[in-house]
Amino acid sequence: MQMVESQRRDCQDPISALFFPTMNLHTTGRFPAYRPRRLRQSLALRRMVAETRLSVESLVWPLFVCAGSRVRKPIGAMPGVFQLSVDELVKEATQAHQLGVPAVLLFGIPKTKDARASGAYAQNGIVQQATRALKKELPTLMIITDVCLCEYMEHGHCGLVAKNDQTGRVLNDPSLDLLARTAVSHAEAGADIVAPSDMMDGRVRAIREGLDQKGLSDIPIMSYAAKYASAFYGPFREAAESAPHFGDRRSYQMDPPNANEAMREVALDIEEGADIVMVKPALSYLDILYRVKTEFGYPTAAYAVSAEYSMIKAAGANGWINEQAVQMEALLSMRRAGADILITYAAPDVARWLKG
């Protein structure tokens, strides 16, 4: 056995030994016998041996729903994205579903906001209305609902804030009940998956318990498990009208330098009952995405956030890049890093491009 191992080490070239210590010539070959370019000669051949593929089945399309009728309010920082009233939302979702997009992620913009985010868990809240309408018209469309309080809070934070506290310090434990109530109300309206994005400690357990107590134990939770306090969210906050009025979200969203902490966050959410875990943002956190998938093996979502979308859109509109090629390459990198689910504002475009 020792002789075999010695022979394997001896037959490795120095480069392979340095970067791929477990590989040997039985698996990698050596030039000129091994010529990697042979399998790159044609499109058909490249597709045949492709290790990673994009498919429409992995796409989720985020949508912003607001009150009113026949409302299509464009988001200036996100070309092609709108705040939509329920009737317009159904039209847009119908077209996307016909293209093969299997799921949407709903964000609500309420008429009014208050200090307890009451619109988030109201029986006739805007997301609840939209969910019921979509389920009626598109029963095969999967509906994922964002569970957070920021869009509904008068101060724009993701949880309760102590009265007269202008520091932005969010009260963790008192916020959990409101988040659980919100998730339950979404599920009762017909949501297929609830997705808490608030980053409160213990929210997954609170939501799981709340759902189970209401007989909704079959509803999966897709947790924003590793959600960073990122500068890439700017355009989203215009779309969702959710920017905090004071302070920021760095006391509850993750600090961008930290990777090991993300693993602890994911482990905690899984232990509390998460069925799918998410990394957000995606493109600048591919290392986190890879580690999450490799270390936990759970179904993993990547959220290609608003600035990722807007940068590609803007550069494409100016003729600086090929928008389609760059968008597809960016999403492919997320799949290659380990994402099973791709949440992207470009979902309908990607579905068209995949159809050829």
Q: What single-letter DSSP state applies at residue 81?
A: -
295-to-234, 291, 299, 335 alpha-carbon distances in Å: 30, 6, 12, 16
Is 227 an active-site residue?
yes
Radius of gyration of the chain (CA): 23
What does DSSP say about strands 170-171 and 193-196: parallel, antiparallel, or unpaired? unpaired
Which are the contacts of 53, defined by CB distance < 8 A and separation ≥ 6?
335
Catalytic residue among 113, 227, 293, 313: 227
Catalytic residue among 91, 135, 163, 280: 280
283-to-28, 33, 86, 200, 326 alpha-carbon distances in Å: 30, 37, 31, 24, 12
Structure tokens at 261: 């902490």
Give the integer Cα–Cα distance in Å for 196 and 221.
8
Residues 275 and 321: beta-carbon distance below 8 Å: no
Handedness of CA 6, 10, 12, 18 (dihedral sign): positive
Which of the residues are catalytic? 227, 280
